[in-house]
Amino acid sequence: MNSLLLNLPQFTALSGLSLLLSAMVLRLLLQFNLNKTAARSIAFITFVLSFITISGNSITIYLHGLLNDLSISSIVLSIHYLITADNSSYRISKQNIPLFYLIALSGLFFYPAALGLGMVDPYSWGFIHHSTLLSSLIFISLLAILIIFAFIKQYNLLLLSLILCLAGYQFRLLESQNLWDYLFDPIIFIYALLITIAHFFITGQNNDTTEKCPEKLGK
């Protein structure tokens, strides 16, 4: 039992990378219009094979050396895609867009500041269990407000991600002792930023089309 608990962060990290790899394989297969049952089966096989060791290492171990640990948010989004993907046209629903906006905006604030560009060090806020800083208390309070907001607005994916990130931090599902590392990582930040930019331009184009064709408003 103790061995299992000690290995839990490593298991979470490797499983997360396997889920991400499986989601990428599924996305590729659906892009080529492969039957969704067959595509999901291949994605599942990919997940299983990624744990098989060759010369003492598995695909996930190699990936971990390149990417390090994924955040809980990345793991949640990988699982969400594996469950919900059903065709080759991947669209983000309006209910899920707030999560990507939050990750993108948080990353735009966090990464430059964490690299020393600015007067604050937001990374220190994430050491909740080892800090008495007022900023850490404010950080947790903001997350609590976001959870309440997501619940009221029924942004289910955002709500689930925030709750699981906090639960993962509480139970030490990753090696990191910093809450930021549970909320997002560079991979999900870049992906969320691209999704946010694409959504922004698509929304702008739709608004332009509506303005040019006002008769559509009555339909």
Rounded distance between C-alpha atoms, residue 33 and residue 213, angstroms: 34
- Give me the mean pLDDT over the 43-51 stretch: 95
- What is the band of 26 on the pLDDT scale with cuts at 50, 70, 90? very high
Instruction: State the average pLDDT for the chain.
Output: 85
57: its two tokens: 């290492």
pLDDT higher at 83 or 118: 83
Nearest CA to 103 out of 211, 208, 194, 203 is that of: 194
With 60 as the cut, is the pLDDT of residue 120 above it? yes
Instruction: State the pLDDT at residue 191.
Output: 93
- What is the band of 211 on the pLDDT scale with cuts at 50, 70, 90? low
Rounded distance between C-alpha atoms, residue 175 and residue 43, angstroms: 27
With 60 as the cut, is the pLDDT of residue 219 above it? no
- Give me the mean pLDDT over the 118-140 stretch: 81
- Give me the mean pLDDT over the 174-192 stretch: 94
pLDDT higher at 68 or 116: 68
- Whole-number percent of the chain with pLDDT over 70: 85
Instruction: State the pLDDT at residue 1.
Output: 37
- Give me the mean pLDDT over the 45-51 stretch: 94
- What is the band of 209 on the pLDDT scale with cuts at 50, 70, 90? low
Q: pTM value?
A: 0.86
Distances (CA, A) of 52 to 3, 26, 66: 21, 19, 18
For residue 8, report the phi and psi dihedrals to the nearest 5 degrees. -60, -45
For residue 112, report the phi and psi dihedrals to the nearest 5 degrees. -60, -40
With 50 as the cut, is the pLDDT of residue 218 above it? no
Instruction: State the pLDDT at residue 45.
Output: 96
- Give me the mean pLDDT over the 116-139 stretch: 80
- Give me the mean pLDDT over the 150-167 stretch: 95
If you average pLDDT over each of 59-63, 120-124, 134-138, which comes out highest? 59-63
Label residue 212 exposed, middle or buried (CB < 10 Å: 0-12, 13-18, 19+).
exposed
Instruction: State the pLDDT at residue 50.
Output: 93
